[in-house]
Amino acid sequence: MQSDVAYVNVALGMAELATIGTKADAAPASWWRDAVVYQVYVRSFADGNGDGIGDLAGVRSRLPYLSDLGVDALWFNPWYPSPLADNGYDVADYRSIDPAFGTLEEAEELIAVARDLGIRTIVDVVPNHVSNEHPWFRDALAAGPNSPERSRFWFRRGGDDNGTPPNGWQSIFGGSAWTQVGDGDWYLHLFAPQQPDLNWMHPDVWAEHEEVLRFWFDRGVAGVRIDSAALLVKDPGLGAEPTSWAPGEHPYMDRDQLHDIYRSWRMVADGYPEPRVLIGELWLPEPERLIRYLRTDELHTAFNFDYLSCPWEPARMRTCIDAALDAHAPVDAPTTWVISNHDVTRPVTRYGRDDTSFSFEAKRAGTPTDLGRGTRRARAAALLSMALPGSMYVYQGEELGLPEVEDIPDDRRRDPMWLRSGGRDPGRDGCRVPIPWTGARPPFGFSPNGDARPWLDQPDDWAALTVEAESGDPSSMLTLYRTGLRLRRTAPWGDAASIAWLESPEETFTFARGERFVCLVNFGPDPVPLPRGAEVLIASGELEGGAVPRDTTVWLLQNGKPEDVQGKERR
């Protein structure tokens, strides 16, 4: 018989689980070190006013859901006024709220109400570029070539008598990274043409961003997620993009001067009684380069994209975990564990494919997937992430096991990655589909009156994936997340911040954390027996007669001291 909390050992005592206080209040100075941060993509979370677009009123109405889920903080994707060339990452005004989402006053209230529930707020800042409708860029266009207004951006004359772009840099969204304006100047945009890059050698750019940080920190925001954090600084010579380069010598990626910017931001963040937290979005291949941003006077944490991109294979996952823990140890920064966000393929779809890794370059529409297998693995990956030391990110809908929506009609797609690749890249709309809350058919309670068409359509067959349906289902993804996160708060590993690998059967891995806690993941096709004398705390799938089936993670309490465990390799 199943308990009402799937696969959890009721012997642990639900009363014990229910009495856990808010960690936020217990350790204010370092709450972020092991926080669970929930990513809110506002446009798709919940619609409060019935226009089919998610908004702050919708988020506010769903705070009880988030509190019940057991998250420590909300990270909001950009909520600022934006012409939406890149769904909000083209910011026209960094100090207000997009009218489609609500008002600044509503944001302030939301920050305060959430905080009363023990949930902190993190906002997204976008320092690499602004919208082409930002006043600075409008002024720059109006002021003409060689004007001081243009020096806040990268305006240049082109080659071949100004007929070709100043250099061959390519936009991350495809095509040239340069666009020519009417008077002949070209400007740089590493993303869409509507996202002109700022010139971080200009003092206005520094000053403005520090003021924007203070603006939000003064409103009670606990931290910022820094968009495209490795791209801000450019080689002023605008040298050609090399095929290989020495560390720090790429013309627009991971350049040394970035560290000066973040040191200065850290001073701003540290100026608050509860220091604000700086979280970097840094897609850097080498962990050694990444952790340079996490030195004690720079950023606090960074997303672990290596883990997010890692294929579902025991050796690769173990290497990835080790690499992250090893790299972070010397800088005393916590690792983060991330399996999804608003830019990447939903985990249940990705893990159901033959190639379970993620890369932007390899994304192609129509790649077959087995959602049953993918869901099993996503459950196992979630429970693994919850057991690892550090903080964890959950992207809205991940906790419902939503799949990537891959059949969005072309005329509904928005993502510049899809548009600018001519459809070769399926883009990111498929992981941004509105959340299904209740009911049997779209829009699944996304809007209050139930009949507004959401900005992206939900599939008709999501009735079993609604919050309502999953709440009552002991075997649902939502029950797993709720139960796993609640158990995580009890810290069955005590205060142990490191893990020790144990001997483990083929195609599995097992680690201990603390005195008695053990986590075992079976990646292989065959069930593996539970270690002798182990008490099961929770499993991501139903155990088969005391054995752990394929693609399943299980948390155990060992009856015995760690020395009793054979083959332990302390880390």
One of 47, 72, 281, 343 is an active-site residue; which one?
281
Residues 6+ apart with CB under 8 A from 197: 128, 129, 153, 154, 187, 188, 189, 190, 231, 234
Token representation of residue 143: 């002021």
Q: Which residues contact 352 (CB under 8 A, 6 or more apart)?
A: 369, 370, 371, 372, 373, 374, 375, 377
108 noted as active-site residue: no
Part in contact with Ca ion (CB under 5 A); list of ranges 40-48, 301-309, 418-426, 484-492:
40-48
Cβ proximity to ligand NOJ: between 111 and 232 the closer is 232
47's contact among ligand NOJ, Ca ion, none, with CB below 5 to 8 A by partner kind, is: Ca ion
Q: 373: burial class by Cβ within 10 Å (0-12, 13-18, 19+)?
A: middle
Q: State the nearest-atom distance from the C-beta of 95 to ligand NOJ, in Å.
A: 18
Name the segment binding Ca ion (CB under 5 A); options: 14-22, 51-59, 118-126, 303-311. 51-59
Candidates 149, 227, 343, 404; catalytic one:
227
Please write down the long-range contacts of 168-172, taking CB distance under 8 Å and 24 or more positions apart: 168/240, 168/241, 169/238, 169/241, 169/251, 169/252, 170/241, 171/420
Give the nearest residue (CB) to Ca ion.
55
- In this structure, the strands spanning 277-280 and 301-302 are parallel
Which of the listed partners (Ca ion, ligand NOJ, none) does 553 bind, with a CB threshold of 5 to 8 Å by partner kind? none
* Cβ closest to ligand NOJ, residue 86 vs residue 306: 86
Q: Considering only residues 32, 76, 94, 191, which one is a binding residue for ligand NOJ as defined by CB under 6 A?
A: 191
CB of 560 to ligand NOJ, least distance (A): 45
Looking at beta carbons only, is 343 or 398 nearer to ligand NOJ?
343
Nearer to Ca ion, 34 or 55 (CB): 55
Among the listed residues 228, 391, 396, 510, the single contact to ligand NOJ using CB under 6 A: 228
Residue (107 or 226) nearer to ligand NOJ, CB: 226
- Minimum CB distance to Ca ion, residue 52 (Å): 7
Q: Rounding to the nearest 10 degrees, give the CA dihedral for residues 522, 523, 527, 530.
A: -10
- Distances from the Cα of 18 to the Cα of 65, 202, 547, angstroms: 16, 53, 29
Q: Among Ca ion, ligand NOJ, none, what does residue 227 contact (CB within 5–8 Å per kind)?
A: ligand NOJ
Residue 131: φ, ψ to 5°: -75, 155
- In the region spanning residues 54 to 113, those forming contacts with Ca ion, defined by CB under 5 A, are 55
89 binds, options Ca ion, ligand NOJ, none, Cβ within 5 to 8 A by partner type: ligand NOJ
First and final C-alpha spacing in the chain: 39
Residue with Cβ nearer ligand NOJ (34 or 398)? 398
Rounded CA gap, 222 and 433, in Å? 27
Distance CA 571, CA 569 (A): 6
Q: Is 281 a catalytic residue?
A: yes
**Please, what is the minimum distance in Å from the beta carbon of residue 126 to ligand NOJ?**
6
Report angle CA 178, 184, 187 to the nearest 5 degrees: 25
Quote the least distance from Cβ 46 to Ca ion, whole Å.
9
User: Which tokens sit at 300?
Assistant: 């606090």
Does position 227 interact with ligand NOJ (CB under 6 A)? The reply is yes
Please state, in angstroms and rounded to a whole number, the distance separating the CA atoms of residues 397 and 342: 10
Binding region for Ca ion (CB under 5 A) out of 42-50, 209-217, 258-266, 483-491: 42-50
- DSSP-assigned letter for residue 176: B
89 binds ligand NOJ (CB under 6 A): yes
CB 66, CB 75: distance < 8 Å: no
Q: What angle do CA 351, 394, 536 make, to 5 degrees?
A: 75
Q: How far is the CB of 563 from ligand NOJ (least distance, A)?
A: 45
Cβ closest to Ca ion, residue 59 vs residue 92: 59
Residue type at position 502: L
Binding residues for Ca ion, per CB under 5 A?
A: 47, 49, 51, 53, 55
Binding residues for ligand NOJ, per CB under 6 A?
A: 86, 89, 126, 191, 227-228, 281, 342-343
Catalytic residues: 227, 281
